Structures are given as C-alpha cells and as structure tokens.
Amino acid sequence: MKLNLKIWRQNGPSAPGNFVDYHVDHVSPDMSFLEMLDVLNVSLVNKKETPIEFDHDCREGICGSCSLMINGNAHGPETGTATCQLHMRRFKEGDTIVIEPWRAKAFPVIKDLSTDRTAFDRIMAAGGFVSVNTGNAPEANSILVGHDTAESAMDSAACIGCGACVASCKNSSAMLFVSAKVSHLAQLPQGHPERAKRVRGMVTQMDQEGFGNCSNTGACEAACPKEITLENIAQLNREIVRAVFKD
Amino acid sequence: MAHLKTFLKSSVGRKFLVGLTGLGLSGFVLTHMAGNMLMFVGPEAYNTYGHKLTSTPLIYLAEAGLLAMFVVHMGLALKLALENKQARGTGPSQNASNCEKNARFGSRYMALTGILVLAFIVLHLISFKYGTYYSVNYQGVEMRDLHRLVVEKFKSPLYSGWYLFSMIVLFVHLAHGFSAAFQSLGFFSVRNCLIKKIGWAFALLVAGGFFIQPIYGYFYGGN
C-alpha cells in the first residue's frame, strides 16, 4: 500500500509546530499502525532526517503508552482499540492520514507526537492506590468479593491511562480516567479504608492539573480503547458526595 | 466542614450544584408551563391563578429561592465553561473540531443556549411581570388582567416568533441538561437509555407546552 501522511512535527514544548507531508511505500495491511511509523522512521534515518517521535511500549494494547490522534479520532478509527493494535488493513491504498498528538493543556507536547502525561501519574499518587502492610499475603478467603462486584471492578480496572478520554473531550476533562480508578477501588473491600480520602485527593489533583470539567457528552467513552463507561463517572459523582460525610 | 469546602471547590462538586439547581429550575419551568395552560380554560381562570399566586406572602420566599438558583446555576456554569475553554490544548489542529463533533448536540451548546434562555427570561419579565397593568374585576375582586396583556403580546408576530424560537432553545438546553443533571448528581448514568428518554420527554413536554401558547394567542387569543 502507498499512503500519504500529514504528521504534526514540533521541536519542543514551546516551539511552534506544523504539519509535514510524508509518503510511505510498501505498507503491508498486516502491519500495525506503529510498525508503519517505524517503516517511515527508518526511511527518514536513511535520508539523515530526524525521525518522528512517538510514544509506545508494549505494543500489546495494555500499557497505555501509545497515543496518536488519527484523522481526528483518538487511537484511530477502530473502536475499543489502542493505536498499537490498529492495523493498516483499516486503511485503503492512497489514503491520506492526519496524525496528531493528544491536545490538552495538561498534556504538553514534548516533541512531535509525544506528550507529557505525567499529570495522570500525579493524580494516581494523590490517592489511586491501596495502602497495604508488607508481610505475608492474607488468607485468600478472608476477604470475600462477589462475582458481579469483581467483574464490575475489573471493568473499571481495565483503564490503561492512555489519555484518549482527555484528547477526545471538548473540555479536555480527565473524568473518565479518574472515575475508572476511583470506582475500581471503591467497589472492592481492599479499597474501602481510604475510599473518601482517595476521591478527594484525586479530584483535587485533577483540578490542579488544569483538566476541564465533565459536560456529560460521552465522547470519552466512544474513544476509550478499553471501553470504560460513563457509569464510572456517575459513580465518581456519588463517591465525592459520600466523601463529604466521611473521613 | 473542611470536606464540604473541598467538595464545593472541586469541579465535580460545582457540577453537582449546577445539576441540582438545574433540576430545581426544571421543576419551576414545568409548573410555570402547567399554570399557563389555564390560558386555554379562559381569562378568568388564568387571572385568578395569577392573582392567587402573587397574593400570598410565600411568593417572596419562592422568588428569592428561584433567584438564588438562577445565580448559582449561571455563575458556576459560566465559570466551568470558561475553565473548559482554557483546558483545551493549543496549537492549530486540522481535526480539533472532531472532539466537538463527537459530543451530543445539546451538550456542545449549553452555554450558548443558557445565555439565550437568560436573555429570554429578562425580556420576558420586562414584558409581563413589569409590563402594562390592566385590571379586571371578577365577583368584586380587583385583580390584574394578565390574560389581556399576554394575548396582546402574542398578537405581534415578531414577539410570538421570538418566543417560539426561545422555546426551541429551551428545548435543546433541557434535552441535554435534564438527563445530564442526574449523571452529575450520580443517580444515573447518561448511558442509561431510560433517563435519556425521560430527559427528551421532559424537554418536549415543557417546551412543547409553552410552544402552543403563543400560537393559540396569535390565532385565537381575542376570541
């Protein structure tokens, strides 16, 4: 396949960026989107040009490193799929593909398509964990979790923290991410001791990072590669009211 | 108390208040619409209803409550909308509008439709509440003849047209706002089809109820 690419190039966080046109040849339909970019980067290196910076790690759809706004859709046209799991068979010979970084004030561009998503790490550090004492693992049957609860918590826990929700939101809101983390732990007994403190801490940090507010539009849910639902946001809204009355 | 402060200062807490006051105001427009329906019964029923409402001292309490809800709803919503604008990333984007396209129609224009509704309310108060005072006497009770004023206003195609337009705007605002308020309060998710349908039905009921009044007033009001 031959493809035309329009890729956002930006030298640094404060440098002005612009779209640059590239052409790639010999793209196999079985390649992943990131492999197609690898092919392009190899050709750029061979021409002594600077390769395009983009984030990636596991390439198995579970690490949340890859990002990329592809033709205006976070992670491209496929639903419930991260960029690394998107295959070139989704595109046609001669297609023009526009590739951009996530755009949000809280996710500044580091270089080209790579953005600084450490705001999510700081939100996690503000409460997205369970404090446990070290020592022997507790007896498995001492904390019972019902099947439906376990499944529902697992659905929330599926969030990989890629930031597609923020990039897709007209307000650059991080509510889907934060709510997935809050609901995951709020549903499990292990998360209960720090339940109120967690939601207060994470929401306060989210606001400080400069993310927008939720307009209940649902664009995040549509873009999420892990299909995290808006029900998590409703739960977050409940959790923060509950936290007013709890320590 | 400290937790309450954290809640009220947080984005989620403020959205909660916008949702709560929005539902309160929804209740108001619903009763207002239902009360206005007395127009179809006749001038006497319409005027007597208005007279009874305004002659109880509780009206001041209700008006103060309404005003407070309006101020909180608009103040917080505008602040949230400004924050949302700031949170967007900078840099020219060929596809920035895609984020907008992904969002439901009503949700994209809440600030705009809200401001249009506010403009309507201000002009609406000027033309009716603080409008010409006609009086009428039913069984020895002197009261305001609001019916006459309303019919007079609706006889103007310009006034009626603007009224109808504003009701379409109100419909768009309520169609998203009513169901979204429940999500912000944490009761239901907007994914819940039932609450979405109830939201649409509520918006249709309220805006539709108001919609037929100027049409009736324009064509049949005098008779």
Q: Decide if A240 and B10 are in contact by the 8 Å CB cutoff.
A: yes
> Is there a single domain that holds both residue A188 and residue A221?
yes
Short-list A89, A74, A69, CA closest to A222: A74
> What is the number of structural domains in chain A?
2
The length of chain B, given as a count of residues: 223
Q: Is the ipTM of this complex over 0.95?
A: no
pLDDT digit string (tens) for A115-137? 999 999 999 999 999 998 888 88
pTM: 0.90
Q: Cβ separation of A234 and B7 shorter than 8 Å?
A: no
Contact residues on chain A for B102, CB-CB shorter than 8 A: 168, 170, 217-219, 222-223
A202, A123 Cβ separation under 8 angstroms:
yes
Domains of chain B in sequence order: 9-78+107-220 (1.20.1300.10)
Q: Which residue of A has its CA nearest to B179?
A: A216
Rounded CA-CA distance B166/B151 in Å is 18
H/E element, B102: helix B96-102
Strand-pairing partners, residue B143, are B136
Per residue in B167-184, pLDDT (tens digit) is: 999 999 999 999 889 888
Is residue A145 domain-shared with residue A210, that is, in the same domain?
Answer: yes
The whole-number pLDDT of residue B190 equals 53
Domain boundary among A59, A84, A111: A111
Give tens-digit pLDDT for A51-106: 999 999 999 999 999 999 999 899 999 999 999 999 999 999 999 999 999 989 99
Same domain for A81 and A193, yes or no, is no
DSSP state letter for A200: H
Residue B68 token pair: 């407070």
Q: How confident is the model at residue B216 (pLDDT cuts 50, 70, 90)?
A: confident
Contact assignment for A245 to B14 by CB distance below 8 Å: no
- State whether A122 and A238 are in the same domain: yes
- Do both A102 and A22 map to the same domain? yes
* CB atoms B186 and A238 under 8 Å: yes
Q: CA B170 to CA B206: how far, in whole Å?
A: 9
Contacts of A226 (CB under 8 A, 6+ apart): A80, A158, A159, A160
If asked whether residues A71 and A148 sit together in one domain, one would say no
Residues A97, A124 within the same domain? no
d(CA B91, CA B66): 42
- N- to C-terminal Cα distance for chain A? 59
Full domain range(s) for residue A93: 3-111
pLDDT tens by residue, A51-63 = 999 999 999 999 9
